[in-house]
Structure 1
Amino acid sequence: MEQEKIYRSLPVKFTADQVSQFSDDLAEGVAKLVAIEDEKKQVASDYKSRIEALQAEVKRLARYVTQKQEFQQVECRMMLDHPKHGVKTLIRTDTGEVAAEETMTPADRQMVINLEADTVN
């Protein structure tokens, strides 16, 4: 009588050498996985920084387009008693435009007195 060959999935015990090799492979796989996850985090962080920088630039440009101006430090001259007595006028030196006119304060009047005294001496 001839025996028929059949195959079944049955447990097969690993040798100590096989288990040792699997342990080494597992440790190597975990190390590679951690390294790749760290690399992914770094790349994501880099992209986040680049995106934030571009968002800031876009917001700045949108503000310029919307407001059609920005505040900058501009050199000005303060003229006392100009255009009339008791008024001080702030004039932009870049355009010659009047930036502001205000009523002179007592401190401003003292400056006029001091300036006049300096020119007399």
Structure 2
Amino acid sequence: MEMLVASAVGVLTTVGIYLVLRLRTFPVIVGVSLLTYAVNVFLFASGRLAVNHPPILRDEALSYTDPLPQALVLTAIVISFGMTAVVVVVALGAYLGNDNDLVNDPDNPEDAISKEPEA
């Protein structure tokens, strides 16, 4: 089970970083969302949960699973939802203002895909 979760975190992180490095706005937003999902799965997996077992690891009261990762994941989900909503609104404003959704540096003259505003 741990290998499956570790592989899922690795794949989500790899795909998220790849998409963040794209030139279009939508893949960047999806990449940031995938990175937040990877962090959420990592935090949730650090809580020592097992499949089809109660949250008590042994008979002693000191061996309950840690509830802190679950609380952190719930908080991270809310924060990532708000962050995604803000980024989508900013990207939509940039698209409507420039008629393109490219993520490039307007000060760099070597950007062949930059679009100059019409006067």
TM-score, normalised with respect to structure 2: 0.32
Give the TM-score taking structure 1 as reference length. Answer: 0.32
With a CA cutoff of 8 Å and minimum separation of 6, indicate the structure with the bigger relative contact order.
Answer: 2
Report the structure, 1 or 2, having the larger helix content: 2
Q: Flag the structure with higher strand content.
A: 1
